Amino acid sequence: MATRSPSPRQRPARAWQRMLSGRRLDLLDPSPLDVEIEDIAHGLARVARWNGQTTGPHVFSVAQHCLLVEEIAARMQPGLEARWRLAVLLHDAPEYVIGDMISPFKAVIGGDYKTVEARLMGAIHIRFGLPAAAPAEIATLTKKADHVAAFLEATQLAGFGHDEATGIFGAPTGVFGGERGVPPVLVPMDSDSAKAAYLARFAALAA
């Protein structure tokens, strides 16, 4: 008697994504061996911050956002070790697979999103010689730098007023001015330039 193929409802859902490198990354049980920086940079350079609701001919990509956050973290904590600056650069790396969901939508989804994100982050960190979870002080620094970056992006690119952005993200007091310099002027890059800049920064920090 011939064996019947399982119906579409009986087949297990595919939980992996094929990358341009040829890797197949399992989203539910990701292996560090399937993580490649080229895939990360390529994906992040094509994921838009703010759901694409920004000014300019190009989206402001997650890759460019990560570069900004790493720069801000270094201003906030001069002398930060290269390995922890690398951790900051990679802080949104899981979004090369799961995309950049705006915070209100993450709140609606709840814990499942966070679980998948944490597993991906752990695999990414281990792949590049970092602990699966960043130390608490690095996580706190990253969050503070991320809020400053969000304030700059909101007011320069996403149409937020100063007071509105301050109420949501907090004003970046003490981060710029004096020896720390002035806030950067954000100019969205095309995806190829954002990818190249991300890879170059990764290479400098990983070295």
Whether residue 147 contacts residue 169, with contact meaning beta carbons closer than 8 Å, is answered with yes
Domain assignment present for residue 153? The answer is yes
User: Which residue range(s) make up the domain with 192?
Assistant: 35-206
Question: How does pLDDT run across 106-123, given as a tens digit for each residue?
Answer: 666 666 778 889 999 999
For 11-25, 97-111, 159-173, which range has the lowest pLDDT when averaged over its residues?
A: 97-111
Domain assignment present for residue 4? The answer is no
Domain assignment present for residue 118? The answer is yes
Domain assignment present for residue 24? The answer is no
pLDDT at position 115, please? 87
Angle formed by the axes of helices 62-76 and 37-44, nearest 10°: 100
Domain assignment present for residue 25? The answer is no
Domain assignment present for residue 139? The answer is yes
pLDDT at position 173, please? 82
Q: Where are the beta strands (DSSP E) in the chain?
A: 16-18, 24-26
Domain assignment present for residue 20? The answer is no
Average pLDDT over residues 38-62: 97
Domain assignment present for residue 110? The answer is yes
Tokens 């539910």 correspond to what residue?
28
Question: How does pLDDT run across 51-68, given as a tens digit for each residue?
Answer: 999 999 999 999 999 999
Q: Grade residue 41 by pLDDT with cuts at 50, 70 and 90.
A: very high
Total domain count, the chain: 1
Residue 203 neighbours by CB distance under 10 Å: 10
Q: Grade residue 157 by pLDDT with cuts at 50, 70 and 90.
A: very high
pLDDT at position 106, please? 64
Average pLDDT over residues 127-148: 97
For residue 116, give the CATH number of its domain. 1.10.3210.10
Whether residue 161 contacts residue 171, with contact meaning beta carbons closer than 8 Å, is answered with no
